[in-house]
Amino acid sequence: MDIEVRPVASPTEFRAAMAVNRAAWRDAYADILPDERLDAMAVPDGVGLQERYDRATADGRAFLVAVDRQPGAVVGFGDAVWDDERKAFCERDDAEIRAIYVDPDAQGAGVGSALLEAAVERVPDACSRLALETFTENRAAREFYEARGFERVGASAFEVGEESYPTAVYARPL
């Protein structure tokens, strides 16, 4: 697979990334989240799409897409934040990896690693650490981050619908 990782270029491309997000959630969280919650996950369109695209491309964050050059399809995305939008588990000088998702058909081809590396390159020098959270039950994600130098530094929770799910918080120096 020949991929290019770069900032998202349009609302249409952002929508393709959200379709990857939906597919990756169904794949990764089938045993963690209830089917009705996974089925309810919608890909944004219209005004909602433009609003989410505008937030994703605002100052203080990097929303990146991984594009398979042949056939030009989005196969993954990453979202890093270093402004006031960071979650409570972040320390003052942290950047946060908000998401890295890869289409299930493209997993294992280095797409996630390329997205992580590209996000790290865009984090401002003022940030000294990269932090993130993942569902505690998501063993594949925990192993992915641990293999890339992240250490578990705490616990938190992530709200999906009206339910709270335990998360593991990871960090590594930049």
Give the model's pLDDT for residue 40.
83
Please name which of 116, 144, 117 lies closest in space to residue 28, comparing C-alpha atoms: 144
Q: Within the chain, which residues score under 70 in pLDDT? A: none
* 3-127 has CATH 3.40.630.30 classification: yes
Q: For tokens 């998501």, name the residue.
A: 138
Q: At what angle do helices 46-56 and 11-28 cross, to 10 degrees?
A: 90
**In one letter, which amino acid is 28?**
A
Give the model's pLDDT for residue 45.
83
Going through 26-173 in order, the beta strands assigned E by DSSP cover 61-68, 73-81, 94-102, 129-135, 151-160, 163-173
Over residues 134-169, the pLDDT tens digits come to: 999 999 999 999 999 999 999 999 988 888 999 999
State if pTM tops 0.85: yes
Give the model's pLDDT for residue 97.
98
